[in-house]
Amino acid sequence: MKTESYLDILKECGATLKGHFLLTSGLHSDTYVEKFKVLQYPLLTDKLCKDIAEHFRKTKPHVIVGAATGGIIISHSIGRLLSTRSIFAERENKNLVLRRGFDIKPGERVLIVDDVVTTGGSIYELMDLVTKKGGILMGIGVFIDRSGEKVNFGDSYFPLITMDIPTYKPEECPLCASNIPLTTRGRTGKK
């Protein structure tokens, strides 16, 4: 599948919202990607995850790890496609940790996956977690990279869709300057 058709899928699902958004990273943007508009369709999600799974199949991972919430769905889909374990990290006192009996054993080959990368914060945390557990990082596969090439995850990084979307610091935001109302998206318990 080509990037244009991936972007078409996002548009058709209504996942690409236009307006003035406060992102989880604290930055502002005129575009918000509501990945759950896509993830609500399991078969479509599997179709997209298949391209990530096939990219990493040769690395023979033992376990796929994502971060709650969207990363759980992507990790499961890829785990199913590659016949591996699928686990997820979640926030406890602001840190991403493994709970629920999940573990990564020393020497296990690990594939990190995530839904949308903006600043890459969650991925860097997951990389740290895998390293501390003694896991061997085989790669990083993400659904959408909207970081504007600001992240550096090394050679084994594979974003399925790369979107060039400007983000602004609040004090430099042209939408704020135009007094366009700010919408908070992507934060637990808020809309």
- # binding residues, Zn ion (CB under 5 A): 4
Report the site for Zn ion in 21-40 (rule: CB under 5 A).
Answer: 28
Q: At 57, is the secondary structure helix, strand, or coil?
A: helix
Tokens of residue 96, six digits:
């991403």
According to the binding rule CB under 5 A, does residue 68 interact with Zn ion? Answer: no
Smallest distance from Zn ion to CB 20, Å? 6
Spatial contact of 47 and 8, defined as CB atoms under 8 Å apart: no
According to the binding rule CB under 5 A, does residue 176 interact with Zn ion? Answer: yes
According to the binding rule CB under 5 A, does residue 175 interact with Zn ion? Answer: yes
According to the binding rule CB under 5 A, does residue 165 interact with Zn ion? Answer: no
According to the binding rule CB under 5 A, does residue 146 interact with Zn ion? Answer: no
Spatial contact of 158 and 142, defined as CB atoms under 8 Å apart: yes
Q: Which stretch binds Zn ion (CB under 5 A): 41-49, 65-73, 100-108, 173-181?
A: 173-181
- For residues 133 and 52, what is the distance between their CA atoms, to the nearest angstrom? 24
Residue 181 or 189 with smaller CB distance to Zn ion? 181
Instruction: Quickly list H helices, the chain.
Output: 3-12, 36-39, 42-56, 70-82, 121-133, 174-177
Q: Which stretch binds Zn ion (CB under 5 A): 5-13, 33-41, 43-51, 171-179?
A: 171-179
Omega prior to 162 cis, within 30 of 0: no
According to the binding rule CB under 5 A, does residue 173 interact with Zn ion? Answer: yes
Residue 71 or 186 with smaller CB distance to Zn ion? 186
The number of C-alpha atoms within 13 Å of 79 and in the hemisphere containing its C-beta is 20
Residues making contact with Zn ion (CB under 5 A): 28, 173, 175-176
